[in-house]
Each structure stands twice: as structure tokens, then as C-alpha cells.
Structure 1
Amino acid sequence: MQPKSGSGELTFTEVGRRRQIVAAAIETIAEVGYTGASFAQIAKRAGLSSPGLISYHFADKDELIGQVVAEIYGTGGAQIRLRSDQASSSTDAVLSFVAGSIAFYDSHRAHMRALIQILNGHPQARERWVDQANSAELDGIEQVLAQGQRDGEFRGDLVPRVAAVVIRDLLSGALQRLLTTPGLDVAAYTGELVTFCRRAISGSADA
């Protein structure tokens, strides 16, 4: 059998099988790490009769990993965007992004563990699959902060790009805390972080 990647439009069955393999890869990488996630282990978790079925759908491990990263970012983006799109102000948009990000981390822990394992295990993961998405996300936060500043919602001395980086760094720290602290009160942690961000960016002294 030859890999179907790049061979044209996929059938419904092929799309379903690829999704099945990607889901199994996420769970496997989250559990055993990037280097330990062999096709044999992924195939077993996916319920496939042979690792060769993965090679039929993906040209090599790099193509599969690229799809794994795309799935993680796509799933997270869709969930978080739903919150931000419903925001009535720039303040609500920023705080919804913060709360939505942590909610996604919490509900998709295997996804986030898998992403961390890929970043730690693949020498070109950042430049090939992650940097562009992260840059676009940072640009989006900056744009909302700049709009809120123009509208008078945020501090006049706020530096939107720097504030966006700080928010992104805070969320990275929140992810690490969530994954390494059993029994973490996620709701309380989220509430404090949202309050911290609101007070840090607000143009009001009593925010």
C-alpha cells in the first residue's frame, strides 16, 4: 500500500481513519513522550491491526506529528474563540481568552501534554508547526489590547505588545501549574488570574 497523503481528495472513511490515528497519537505521545511514541504503540491504541495502516495514511512520522499539532491548535482555537467572539468589549475579549485558555488546558490535558512532549522531543517542532500559530495568537491579543486602549478601556500607558507577551507568559505558567499540581483548584486559580489581568490592563483605578 502507498501513503494516501497528497494523493488527492480523501474519502469519508480515510478522513475518519486519519482522525482516529491522530487521536491515538495524541494519547500515546502524552503518555510515553515524543521519542517513545512508535507507530506500533499508536496503532495498538487506535485499534489497528498493523502499524502499516498508519503508513498508508501518513507518509512518515513527521507528517503525523504535523497533523497532531494542527489538531491541538485547531481544537483549542475553536473552543477559545467561541468565548472571545461573544465578548461585548475588549476587556471581556481579553478576560474570556484568559479564562477560555485555562478551561481548554483543563479539559484537554492529554493534548497539552502531547504538545509539550513534541516541543521537547522534536528539534524542529517550533519552527515547523508552532511558531507561526503562536505569533498569530500574540498578534491577536495585541490587537485587542490596542483597540481597548483606543476606546479608553485600558491604561493609557499600556504597551499592547508587551502586555500581550505578559499575558501569554502567564498562561504558559498556568498550564505548567495545572499539569504538575494534582488537586489544583482550577476555578479559583482561573478567577485570580482573570482578576490579576483585569486590574493590570484596566484604565480604571478601582477595577
Structure 2
Amino acid sequence: MMANVATAKTRTFTQKARRAQIVQAAIEALAESGYAKASFTRISQQAKLSSTGMISYHFSGKPELFAEVANTVIGQARELTAARIADETTHRGRLSAYITSTFDFVARHPLQARALMEIVRMVRDGRISGLDDVEHTVSSVECLVTLLQQGREAGEFGAFDCRTMALAVRGATDSVLRHHLCGQRTQLQDAARELADIFDRCTRPT
């Protein structure tokens, strides 16, 4: 079947609802079965669709569908983080909010977090093409670099390389969350507070 019968601007309410239904089913299939078993058949069953053709009508293939899944999850996570950061009045508070909101998103939306992890793993293992932009977006630390630079200019942070510190924050955060999502259960709230405290101490002016 012909995919993408309408552009994002011209899709009807029904088409948007169907795409959202398929995306949610793909999230559940990826989280529960892994990317190796997240076939269109599995996803159509999860969405209670009559055939895989309904997926093909809205998405040209797995790359487009999984890109939509990734962008949906990333958008949800960014919305939560932005709201938490906006509530803070200091750069130190914003750094803490950045760290703790990431853990909070995983605690609130474990299926979405696992699905995104599966997509990134799929890209890195070379199991799917056309999703390099997704991996780049997931691994980007540009917003965190900017936050640290602004805090340093305001005198709230010490004289460190902001990109190196941003990579350290993301590396530590991602490592703890990856272990949690892979079955090594972690008390996420405790881990979030611990990491926020560690990097609060690491970034203080000397």
C-alpha cells in the first residue's frame, strides 16, 4: 500500500489518531519484545489492527515508524525536563532539575524509555538504516553545555570545560538508567538525588 497518504499538515483527525495508535503499539512491542521481534505483525496485533497493511498505509517502513516513535519519546522527555528547569531560579537548581527529571521520566514512562533504548541499540548494531539523526539527537549534550556555560558566566559554577562536564553528566546518568532498564533494578529517586548531589559538588566554584 502507498504510505504517507497525507503530509503532517493535511492529515485528518482520524489519520493522526491512527498514527498515534500505531506509534503507541510500536512502543509497547519494542519495550516488551525488543527490536528483533518488533515486526509489523507484532505491532499490528498490539494495536488490534486487522492487518499490517494499515501500518504500511501510514508508514513507509520500519525506519519511518521507529523514527516517529523516537521523536515522540524524545519530545515527551524534553517537555518534562523543560518544565522542571523553568521552575528553577538558579543555574545550580537547573542542573539538578536536568538530572532528576531524566530519572523521573524513566520512572513515569518505563515503556517509552525502553523503546527508545531499543531503537538506539538497533541503530548502533547496524540493524536499521536511516535513523542516524535519531541517535545524534539522543546523544546530544548541547542544551546541557549551554546550561553549564550560562551558570559559569553567572559565577555559580567553577572554571571547568563545559562540554567535558556535560558528557560526564550524561554518561553517568545514561549508565545508571541503562542498567535499570536492562533489569538491574535501581531505586531511581535515590540514584537521581545521589547524582544531582555529586555533580553539584563537582561544579562548585573553588
Q: TM-score, normalised by structure 2?
A: 0.90
Alpha-carbon deviation of 1:147?
A: 1.2
Residue 166 of structure 2 aligns with which residue? 164
Once the two structures are aligned, what percentage of the paired residues are identical? Answer: 29
- Asked whether the 8 Å contact 1:106–1:178 carries over to 2, the reply is no
Residue 26 of structure 1 aligns with which residue? 27
Alpha-carbon deviation of 1:24?
A: 0.4
Residue 60 of structure 2 aligns with which residue? 59
- Asked whether the 8 Å contact 1:30–1:114 carries over to 2, the reply is yes
Across the aligned residues of Structure 1 and Structure 2, the Cα RMSD in angstroms comes to: 1.7
Residue 133 of structure 2 aligns with which residue? 128
Aligned length: 200
Matched, 1:152 2:155: yes
Please give the residue correspondences for 1:110-125 in structure 2 after superposition, counting only pairs within 5 Å: 110-122=111-123, 123=126, 124=129
Mapped to 1, the partners of 2:29 and 2:122 lie a distance apart of 14
1:85-127 residue CA offsets vs partner (Å, 9 max, x unmatched): 1110111111100000111112121112112222222324662
State the SS of the aligned residue for 1:188: helix
Alpha-carbon deviation of 1:71?
A: 0.7
Mapped to 2, the partners of 1:199 and 1:132 lie a distance apart of 28
Residue 142 of structure 1 aligns with which residue? 145
State the SS of the aligned residue for 1:35: helix
Mapped to 2, the partners of 1:67 and 1:160 lie a distance apart of 31
- Asked whether the 8 Å contact 1:152–1:203 carries over to 2, the reply is yes
Alpha-carbon deviation of 1:130?
A: 2.1
- Asked whether the 8 Å contact 2:63–2:131 carries over to 1, the reply is no
Residue 13 of structure 1 aligns with which residue? 14
State the SS of the aligned residue for 1:202: coil
- Asked whether the 8 Å contact 1:84–1:96 carries over to 2, the reply is yes
Mapped to 2, the partners of 1:132 and 1:69 lie a distance apart of 10
1:155-175 residue CA offsets vs partner (Å, 9 max, x unmatched): 1x2111110110010111121
Mapped to 1, the partners of 2:139 and 2:175 lie a distance apart of 15
Mapped to 2, the partners of 1:38 and 1:72 lie a distance apart of 19
Alpha-carbon deviation of 1:178?
A: 2.2
Residue 189 of structure 1 aligns with which residue? 191
Q: TM-score, normalised by structure 1?
A: 0.90
